[in-house]
Amino acid sequence: MSEAILLQAKPLTQENFAAFGDVIEAGMSEPIMINEGTTERFHALSEVQLGSAEDKAIISIFRAQPRSFPMSIQMLERHPLGSQSFHPLSQEPYLVLVADAVEQPSAEHLHLFLATAQQGVNYHKGTWHHPLLALNAVSDFLVVDRAGKGHNCEEITLNQDIEIPLDYLIQGEGSST
């Protein structure tokens, strides 16, 4: 075994993700009844952030290959000019890896979450995050992000030996990395 720093995931909640973005999930708030009572609207679970009045919000689909574990974590990226949301379409859970808002994140700034197949995330403008970490199967995600002029993707290389282990979920309460 290497002496890699191991990351372990917590279940994703609105509260533990609030510093990084929004969790997009039905049933966490009171819905509005619409369409003559046939539809519940869980309204404005998140907002698309843009950089300027000329920017557009666009809708794309990302098709992600599942990752293999243990997995070495080498880099993060951030989008300074807009938010970026991911919503799972393939009934598969996935991992969400983000970092605190520092210029050069190191292991102690990283936060790994396990999202259920019913939970989307919207990274706030500028939130450091790892590219999609699909699990189990090829997984599609509906992505809402920003299109427009200017450079909207910054990448950073991590300077430590950091790994998501095979058993990436913290088992039970009180466990730690």
144 part of the interface to its own copies, by CB under 8 A: yes
Which of 5, 69, 109, 140 touches its own copies (CB under 8 A)?
Answer: 140
Angle at 41 between CA 36 and CA 45, to 5 degrees: 165
Task: Provide the phi-psi class of 16: left if phi over 0, else alpha when psi is between -120 and 50, else beta.
Answer: alpha
Q: Least distance to its own copies from the beta carbon of 24, Å? A: 6
Among 39, 104, 136, 160, binds its own copies (CB under 8 A): 39
User: What residues contact residue 53 under an 8 Å CB cut-off, 6+ apart?
Assistant: none
In single-letter form, the type of residue at position 52 comes to S
Segment (H or E) for 164: strand 154-164
Q: What is the identity of the amino acid at 116?
A: T
Question: Interacting stretch for its own copies, rule CB under 8 A, among 7-15, 33-41, 92-100, 101-109?
Answer: 33-41
Could you say which residues in the range 54-83 bind its own copies, by CB under 8 A?
56-65, 67
By CB under 8 A, is residue 137 in contact with its own copies? Answer: no
Report the residue number, 1 or 44, with the smaller CB distance to its own copies. Answer: 44
- For residue 146, the Cα-to-chain-centroid distance in whole angstroms is 16
Our finding on whether 125 is near its own copies (CB under 8 A) is no
Is 118 a binder of its own copies (CB under 8 A)? yes
Contact region with its own copies (CB under 8 A), list: 7-15, 95-103, 105-113, 135-143: 135-143
Query: Which phi and psi (to 5°) does residue 155 adopt?
Result: -120, 150
**Residue 9 CB, nearest approach to its own copies (Å):** 19
Q: Which of 82, 50, 70 is CA-nearest to residue 163?
A: 70
Nearest to 87 by CA among 10, 171, 12: 12
Q: Round to whole Å and give the CA distance between 58 and 145.
A: 6
40 scored as a contact of its own copies (CB under 8 A): yes
Kindly list the residues in this chain that would bind its own copies in the complex (CB under 8 A): 24-26, 31, 34-36, 38-48, 50, 53, 56-65, 67, 85, 87, 89, 91, 118, 120, 122, 131-132, 140, 142-144, 147
